[in-house]
Amino acid sequence: MKDFDYIIIGGGCAGLSLAYELEIHKKLEDKTLAIIEPRKEYYKDKTWSFWKTTPHNYDDCVKKSWKNFSINLPNKTKFLECGKYPYQSIDSGLFYEKINKKLKLNKNIYFYKNINEISSENSFIFNSVPNLNRNENNLWQHFCGVEIETNNNFFDDEIINLMDFDCNQRNSVHFFYTLPYTKNKALVETTWLSKMNDNSQKDYDEQIREYIENHLNLKDYKITYKEEGAIPLFHTSYPREKNKINIGTAGGMTRLSTGYTFLNIQEHCKFIRENIENITEVKLFEIEKKYQFLDKIFLKVIEKNPEKMPNIFFKMFDGSSNTVVKFLSNKSNILEDFSIILNMPKWIFIKELFRN
């Protein structure tokens, strides 16, 4: 069986981002790479959105960028500006197409459906297939979004609605998220932060229909695309292996308080590319410890006080929006961290800090 210098298990967001990063920086001119991906074909299956706090390779896959966002409670709305760090949405269909087109030009890159088709003993492995622990106490961010189209102009496409908590919370944390791509096209998503012990919150179609028709007051529309997913709000730890690094969700690249993963994946890929020549010796790349610590407390607060979360999220944005965006994107300095912490209800957080 054929041997390779590198193997990437999983040709999704992290696997393809890493292969592309290595390819465009000419790290695969005299090295071989096998990408293991079982899917038969690539099509748009996700929309990756984030505040652009660092450069990335996919500006040409950005569907739209916004400089304004809002957050709603039942009787209050906050309007915020993010011109310095625009909120961007990447079309995964364009992303897959761009990367696969580039990778196929390099004869040193091979594509397989199953790891058993090759020998992996002498290779360095980048694994993006998580081994998810199905513990029923774990929290998830689970959601379903639809892209809708209207005949007449309906949306203000200059501003996104990041979190609309004016909806039934069902003893969890629930909000709607609306990204208007044009005046007559938008992604509307129902999002839950909760344990996934049963399917009682998964009547997504009805939640979305109700929100669009009775909350947005939009009756005449058609659904053109649908995506559904669940982001684990926990990290799985794996024993360190000399010839293997986990990447993507498997590599702990999800910011647990927000679910944002895409830009962390890009930073991890850059780190790997910069260190590829001595990859067996480098320290593990991880989300900074201070965020891991704060997110752990934040998740405990979510778990124990779901009814308080709409107000807590709303208050978080009391200060400068740039500061909050930097904090949520792991780019804040210590003073900025403090200013966020000061906006939080202290006793709830202190109580959870000491709870096991």
For ligand FAD, the binding residues (CB under 6 A) are 9-15, 36-39, 46-50, 128-129, 227, 229, 231, 248-250, 260-262, 265
The DSSP call for residue 212 is I
* Shorter beta-carbon distance to ligand FAD: residue 235 or 352: 235
Tell me which amino acid residue 200 is.
S
* Shorter beta-carbon distance to ligand FAD: residue 127 or 332: 127
Minimum CB separation of residue 43 from ligand FAD in Å reads 12
Contact 56, 65 (CB under 8 A): no
* Shorter beta-carbon distance to ligand FAD: residue 233 or 352: 233
d(CA 244, CA 218): 50
Minimum CB separation of residue 62 from ligand FAD in Å reads 12
SS3 180: strand
Other beta carbons within 10 Å of 116: 10
Q: Which two tokens stand for residue 254?
A: 């999800």
Q: Where does residue 236 rank: exposed (0-12), middle (13-18), buried (19+ CB within 10 A)? A: middle
Residue with tokens 């938008």: 186
Minimum CB separation of residue 129 from ligand FAD in Å reads 4
Minimum CB separation of residue 107 from ligand FAD in Å reads 22
Minimum CB separation of residue 217 from ligand FAD in Å reads 26
* Shorter beta-carbon distance to ligand FAD: residue 39 or 215: 39
Minimum CB separation of residue 170 from ligand FAD in Å reads 21
Contact 226, 145 (CB under 8 A): yes
Q: Which two tokens stand for residue 285?
A: 């790349």
* Shorter beta-carbon distance to ligand FAD: residue 231 or 352: 231
Q: How far is CA 318 from CA 77, 295, 323, 341, in A?
A: 12, 19, 10, 11
Q: How far is CA 24 from CA 31, 177, 205, in A?
A: 14, 34, 41
* Shorter beta-carbon distance to ligand FAD: residue 126 or 154: 126
The residue sitting closest to ligand FAD, measured at its beta carbon, is: 12
Contact 122, 3 (CB under 8 A): yes
d(CA 221, CA 184): 9
d(CA 272, CA 245): 9
Minimum CB separation of residue 49 from ligand FAD in Å reads 4
Question: Among 197, 207, 201, which residue's Cα sits nearest to residue 139?
Answer: 197
Contact 264, 286 (CB under 8 A): no
* Shorter beta-carbon distance to ligand FAD: residue 248 or 310: 248
* Shorter beta-carbon distance to ligand FAD: residue 93 or 229: 229
* Shorter beta-carbon distance to ligand FAD: residue 75 or 131: 131
Minimum CB separation of residue 228 from ligand FAD in Å reads 6
Minimum CB separation of residue 348 from ligand FAD in Å reads 27
